Structure 1
Amino acid sequence: MDHLSLRAQWAILLIASLLLGMLLLVFQVPAALLLGPMIVGVVMGLTGARVRIDKRFFVLAQAVLGCMIAQSLSPSILTPLLNDWPVVVAVLILTLAASALSGFMLVRFSHLPGATGAWGSSPGGASAMVAMAGDFGADVRLVAFMQYLRVLFVATAAAMVARIGLGNNAQNATLEWFPALHSGLLLTFVVMAAGVWLAPRLRIPSGALLLPAFIGAALHSSGVATLQVPEWLLAVAYSLIGWSVGLRFTRPVFLLALRTLPQMVVSIIGLMLLCGGLAWVLTKVLHVDIMTAYLATSPGGLDTVAIIAAGSRVDIAFVMAMQTLRLFTILLTGPALARYLSRFARPETSQSG
C-alpha cells in the first residue's frame, strides 16, 4: 500500500469505505457508516497506507455528533440520574473498579509499564486518554493502540448486539439523505464552531462533542431554536471518526504492541464482559432495556457509543448521561490510578530492575 501515491490511497479509502458502509447498511447493521470506514482504515493502516485525517477534521466531526446528540437531550435527562442516584453511583464505581482490575492484570501479566497499562485500559474518551497519557510517563503510541483497539472491539460488538437485539426493527428504515434545508443548519454550524473554539480554551475533555451537545440542548429545550443535522452531514462525521480510529493502527505500532497483543485482547474482552454484567444488573434495578444499559456501561469512546446509540433506538439521553459522568470521573481519578498501577501492579522482577 505504501508504494501507491497519496491520491491513489485516498481514492481507495473513499471508494472502499463507501462500498463497505453501503453493504453494512443493506444488512441493517447499526453504525454501518462508522464501522465501514473504520474497518477499511484498519486494513489500510496495517498495510502501510500514509493517508491521515487532520486532527481538525476529527474535532469537527465530534462537534457534528454533539449537535446530533443535542436533539435528544433535555432537562428530563437528570430525572433518572437523580431519582436513582445510588444505583448510578454504584454502577459508576463498579465500572471504575472493573477498569482498574483490567489494568492491574494487564500490567501484572505483560511487559507494559504501569502508567501505559493504566491509561491504555481506562474506559472513556479515547482521544482524551491519549492526550493525557504522555504527561504521566506513559508510551503514547501504545496507549493510543490499546485505546483504539478497544474502541474497535466495543464498536463492533455493540453494533452486532444492537443488530441481534433489534432484529428486523433495526435502523435503516427510511433515511432521508438530502432533506430540505432551513435556518437550523446554519445554526448547527454556528454551534459547532462555538464548541470547537471554546473546548480548548475551557480545557473541557471531549469538549468539541460535549459543548455543542449542551448548547444545542439548551436552545432546543428552551424553544429558542432547533438544530438541523441532515443524514449526509452525519455520514461525513461518521466516516471521519472511523478513519481517524482505523488509520491509527499502523504497522510500526502494531509490531511494537505485538509482544503484548494477546494480553491486550484478553484485557479488553474481560472489561467488556464485566461491563456487560453491570448492564444486566442495571436492567434488573432500573426500567431500562438491555441495549440502553449495555451502551450506558460500554467501555468504548464517547463518540463511537453516541453513533451506535443514535442508530439503535435506545434511550440516548440516559446513555450519554452515564457515559459523560464516567468520562469526567475517569479524568479525575486517572492520574491516581496510573500512579498506583505503576507502583504496585508490575511483577517483582520489573520493580527490582
Structure 2
Amino acid sequence: MTRARTVAVSAARWVALTAVSVAGWVALDAAGLTAPSLFAALVVAVIFALTGLGPARVPRLGSMAAQGALAVTIGLMIDPDTLRSLGDNAIPAVLVGVATLVVSAGAGALLALNREVTAATGMLSLIAGGATGLVAAARELGGDERVVAVVQYLRVALVVVTMPLVITFAFHADTHAAAASDTAGPTYPWWVALGFVVAAVVVGIVVGRLLRLPAPATLGPLLVSGACALSGRPGDLDVPAEVLPVAFLIIGWQAGLAFTLQSLRSIGRLFPYAVALVVGVDVVCALFGWLLAELTGTSMLTGYLATTPGGLAAVLAVSASTGSDVTFVACVQLIRLVLMLIAAPVIATLLTGRASRRQESVGV
C-alpha cells in the first residue's frame, strides 16, 4: 500500500469514527445521559476497534491536548474553601486511598491464582491507577505486558462506561443545569479564554515533565490552572463551551481504541475472570465512596466520584459536568493515584524477587 493510500484510509477511518461518535453523542444527550460525548466515544471506539474499522490509536499529541484541556477546566474550578475543608478530612481521604490499594492488590492476588498469571502480573493488572504507566513498565517490573494492558484498559473502560449510567439513573444528576451555570456571562472573549487554555496546557505539561509527575498531561496543567485560580488570576474566565465535549470525545476514543480482537485473544479464558475482578473492585470502591461521604459530610455523588477506581480524566470530566465538589474529587483521586504509582513498582519488585528465589530453591 502506497503512502498516499495509507493516509487516505487513515483519514477515512477518523472521519467515520468522528461521524458515528457525534451521532451517538447527540442521541445520548437527547436521552439525558450524563457526559454523553464521553460515553458515545468510548462505545463507538470499542466497536470500531473490535471490527478493525477504527484507527490504531489516538495520536499522543491529541491525547495530551484533551487531558490538558480537561485539567485546566478543573483547575479553574478549584476553591480555597474546599481545600481548607479537605485539610480537615485528610485522614479519611488517605485511608480510603490505602484501602483501595489493598483491595486492588488483593484482586491482583486472586487473578494470580490462575496458573498462567504470575503474582507480579496479577498485581500490576488490577492496581487502580496509572494504567498507561503500568502497561509501559510491566515488562521491566517482571509482568506480562499483554495481560496487564488488557486488564488495565478494561478497568478504565468499565469505569468510563458505568459512571454516566450510575450518575444518570442512581443519582439523577442534572448536568444541563450545571453546564448552563458554568458558562453564563464570561468576562473574557472566547479567543482570550482559548489562548489561556492552550498556554496553561503547554506550560503545565512542561512543568509536569520537569517535576516527573505521574500523568504529567493531566497533573501539570491542573497545577498551573489551579495556582492561577487560587491567586485570583486570570479573574472571571470561563473555558469555551466547545472545549470540554471535544476533550471528552478524545478521552473516550483513547480508552476504546485500546481494545482489539488480538489483545482479547491474547488472554483467552482469563478474560471473564478478569472482568469479574474488575467489577468487584468497582463495587467495593463505590462502598468506600459511601463511607467517605458519611465521614466527611460531603454528598454521596461526590463520594462516589472521589473513590472511583481509575480513569482520572474521565472522573474529573464527569465531576465537572455534574456540579459536584470537583476540588474534593480531584484531591482524593490524586491521593489514590500517587499511592498506586508509588506502591505498584515496589510491590511488583518484591513479588518478582520472591518468585526468583523460589525458582532458585526448587532448582537447588
Whether TM-score is above 0.5 comes out as yes
Distance (Å, rounded) in 1 between the aligned partners of 2:355 and 2:32: 43
Could you tell me which amino acid in structure 1 is paired with residue 247 of structure 2? A
Match of 1:339 in 2: 349
Tell me which residue corresponds to 1:40. Answer: 44
Task: Give the residue type in structure 2 aligned to 1:247.
Answer: L
Q: 1:74 to 1:108 in 2, by over 3 A?
A: same
Task: Give how far 1:267 is off.
Answer: 0.8
TM-fit CA distance, 1:172 = 2.6
> CA separation in 2, counterparts of 1:86 and 1:61?
32
Q: CA deviation at 1:316?
A: 0.9
Cα distance in 2, alignment partners of residues 71 and 56 from structure 1? 22
TM-score, normalised on structure 2?
Answer: 0.88
Going from structure 1 to structure 2, the CA distance change for 1:80 and 1:217 (only over 3 Å counts) comes to same
2:120 to 115, 120, 128: 115
Structure 2: stretches of 5+ with no match in the other structure: 1-5
In the alignment of these two chains, the number of paired residues is 348
State the distance in 2 between where 1:72 and 1:312 align.
Answer: 13
8 Å CA contact retained: 1:124, 1:300: yes
Indicate the residue corresponding to 2:250 in structure 1.
240
SS in 2 for 1:288: coil
Amino acid at match of 1:15: A
Q: Which runs of 5+ in 1 are unaligned?
A: none
Give how far 1:274 is off: 1.1
Cα distance in structure 2, aligned partners of 1:147 and 1:29: 25
**Paired residues of 2:14 and 2:54 also in contact (CA < 8 A):** no
1:237-268 Cα deviation digits (max 9, x unpaired): 11111111111101111111222101110110
Is 1:7 matched with 2:17? no
The amino acid across from 1:106 in the alignment is L
Q: 1:68-147 residue pairs with structure 2 within 5 A?
A: 68-109=73-114, 111-147=116-152
SS at match of 1:311: helix
Per the alignment, residue 276 of structure 1 pairs with: 286
Following superposition, the deviation at residue 293 of structure 1 comes to: 0.7
Q: 1:71 deviation in Å?
A: 1.8
Q: Deviations over 1:177-201 (max 9, x none)?
A: 9x85152321221111112233333
Which residue does 2:3 correspond to in 1? none
The match for 2:190 among 181, 185, 192 is 181
Per the alignment, in what secondary structure is the counterpart of residue 143 of structure 2?
coil
Is 2:25–2:37's contact at 8 Å kept on the other side of the alignment? yes
Deviation, structure 1 residue 223: 1.6
1:20 aligned onto 2:29: no
Distance 1:166 1:317 in 2: 19
SS in structure 1 opposite 2:157?
helix
AA at the equivalent of 2:41: P
Tell me if the contact between 2:76 and 2:228 (Cα under 8 Å) persists in the aligned partners.
no
Structure 2 contact 93–335 (Cα < 8 Å) conserved:
no
- The residue aligned with 2:259 is 249
Identity level (%): 30
**What is the rounded CA distance, in whole Å, between the counterparts of 2:219 and 2:345 in structure 1?**
22
Following superposition, the deviation at residue 228 of structure 1 comes to 3.6
